[in-house]
Chains A and B, each alone.
Chain A
Amino acid sequence: MRQTTKRSLKLTYDLFSRVKTGDFEYIYRGAFTQNLTRKILSLAESNLQRFVDKSSLQNRIYFIMVEGLQNVTRHQEPTNDSKSEHAGIFAIQKVENRYIITTGNTIVNTKVDSLKQRLEKVNNLDREELKKLHREILSTGELSDKGGAGLGLIEMARRSGNRLTFDFEYIDLYWSYFYLQTEIPSRTYARDAAEELEESNAMRDIKHLNHILDKKDILLNFNGSFNQNNILSLLSIIKGQMRVNKSAKKVYYIMVEMLQNISKHGNFHEENTDGNPGIFYLGQTEDEYVLTSGNYIPNEYVADVKERLDIINDMDSNELNEYFNKILLDQNVIDPKKTGLGFVDMRLKSSRKIAYDFKEIDDKYSFFTLQTSVQIN
């Protein structure tokens, strides 16, 4: 039986602590399809509804997400290899009162210059000029070969009221990687130096993160508060995105347990109004899917949970099955959540041991990381 190394679990808290309580960060990496786009939007939408009061702002954010996702879907170049550095990315981050939406996709080097020019052109226009250009393109009906005419970029700039931040990263002789970032709500039109700096920080931050996620083969990362609504959206993304096979079913089942663990138990300093803070990410290596979750746990529970995990990890499959049956048959157990049934179930479904880590945060709470994997067949 494979043991996941402890070291890789340290990453979880590093990723988690990037995001302040009350904020969120949601990242998807991989191939983009129409159907996936719909599901990503529904997850983002359910998060936005909880945070953004003004529906006009919600609509603008939503619009920019749709436009960004369509750009990635439409422009992702059909590379023949499946190198993960070519994977598309979509990220939405809430940082205090700002929403940062980033998309990334590969682009052939020969197209970089013309795209750069278009972006710079859009960035140099003011509100009125953007409006005018938009009208002009619509009336002349000039379309690019991808049906875009740069209208998308103009609209994104108009709706965000901000410059589009962008970056091209050289991959090899043929490919570059194109990042596009939009921020909402708008800043004052004449931006000061601090705002400029923040902008370039946000871009550097997401590029850095994308490289880490790439190195760890992470496809999906959700960092924020977990409640049943978010959980159902995350599950529907996974369900829609994975080819239906034995491993996908197992990933789904284990995800349910991990995510509901966070929403049920992961409260932190009674701030549990709208879900519990936590992180979940799904990675894929050559031969397995790796599932990782992290959340807070009161210090007084750590010893118990640790002991339960050790006992369950030491069981062989017969013992696991017997334990499962015992819980089912025990009429005194009304609510199985404190029995470790979820852990037993994870072990049976993954046929792996559960890797875990506890990191003390303050005198009341620790950060609890849980990781298991499912073989790809």
Chain B
Amino acid sequence: MEALIIKATEDTPEIIFDPENEVFEISNVSLPENAIEFYAPVLDWLKKYMKNPLPKTVFNFNIEYLNTASSKQIFELIFLIDKINEHSDVLIRWHYDAIDEDMKSLGVRFTHLVKVKFELVEYEKDEEEEEDDFEF
């Protein structure tokens, strides 16, 4: 099956769903005005993938910021992934910044709503990456 590759923009995430290389990842920010439109092709791709998934799939969600409209669509993705999980071995790795308690709790929320295995992965941003700014 052909890979789905969507490049990141200022307000939409990078998406790489690549069965051949076994990479399934959503990263960067998700703040589109129209989340339904943005995620429609992603959901379509997953519905096709569902018919013939790899024996084992690991989905990495590594999102820095998302709006509520996106969180509904991300859940739609997870809902489909949960179905893939009925026929094959699936793991969702939910990455979140250690200081971002809301991204963590969204991950926790999802674990309560679906059966697929979830791994919450906390990371700490390298301070060096931050720019030269200070507080107001």
Report B33 CB to chain A, min CB distance, Å: 5
Chain A residues with CB under 8 Å of B101's CB are 246, 249
Q: Does A144 contact B (CB under 8 A)?
A: no
Chain B residues with CB under 8 Å of A33's CB are 132-134
A246 to B75, CA, bound (A): 24
Q: Within residues 51 to 81 of chain B, which ones have a CB less than 8 A from any CB in chain A?
A: 65, 67-69, 71-72, 75
Contact A35 B112 (CB under 8 A): no
A228 to B29, CA, bound (A): 14
Q: Which residue of A lies closest to B33 (CB)?
A: A228
A249 to B101, CA, bound (A): 9
Q: Does B10 contact A (CB under 8 A)?
A: yes
Q: Which residue of A lies closest to B75 (CB)?
A: A328
Chain A residues with CB under 8 Å of B69's CB are 260, 335-337
What does the 1/0 interface line of A214-243 toward B look like (CB < 8 Å)?
Answer: 000001000000001000100100001111
Contact A30 B72 (CB under 8 A): no
> How many interface residues does B have (CB within 8 Å)?
28
> How many interface residues does A have (CB within 8 Å)?
43
Q: Which residue of A lies closest to B100 (CB)?
A: A249
Chain B residues with CB under 8 Å of A335's CB are 36, 69
Contact B33 A263 (CB under 8 A): yes
Chain B residues with CB under 8 Å of A241's CB are 133, 135-136
Chain A residues with CB under 8 Å of B113's CB are 325, 328-329
Q: Within residues 323 to 377 of chain A, which ones have a CB less than 8 A from any CB in chain B?
A: 324-325, 327-329, 333-337, 341-342, 345, 348-349
A33 to B135, CA, bound (A): 10
What does the 1/0 interface line of A303-332 toward B look like (CB < 8 Å)?
Answer: 000000000000000000100110111000
Among A30, A240, A336, point to the contact of B131 (Cβ < 8 A). Answer: A240
Contact B31 A256 (CB under 8 A): yes
Contact B136 A219 (CB under 8 A): yes
Q: Which residue of B lies closest to A329 (CB)?
A: B113
**Chain B CB within 10 Å, residue with most, of A243, A249, A324, A349:** A249
Q: Within residues 65 to 116 of chain A, which ones have a CB less than 8 A from any CB in chain B?
A: none
Q: Does A268 contact B (CB under 8 A)?
A: no
Contact B136 A256 (CB under 8 A): no
A349 to B31, CA, bound (A): 17
Q: Does A132 contact B (CB under 8 A)?
A: no
A245 to B65, CA, bound (A): 14
Contact B10 A333 (CB under 8 A): no
A335 to B34, CA, bound (A): 9
A189 to B13, CA, bound (A): 52
Contact A35 B131 (CB under 8 A): yes
Q: Does A197 contact B (CB under 8 A)?
A: no
Question: If the complex has contacts A328-B113, A342-B68, are A228 and B102 also in contact, measured as CB distance less than 8 A?
Answer: no
Residues of B near any A CB (own CB < 8 A): 10-11, 31, 33, 36, 65, 67-69, 71-72, 75, 97, 99-102, 109, 112-113, 125, 130-136
Residues of A near any B CB (own CB < 8 A): 30-31, 33-36, 219, 228, 232, 235, 240-246, 249-250, 252-253, 256-257, 260, 263-264, 284, 321, 324-325, 327-329, 333-337, 341-342, 345, 348-349
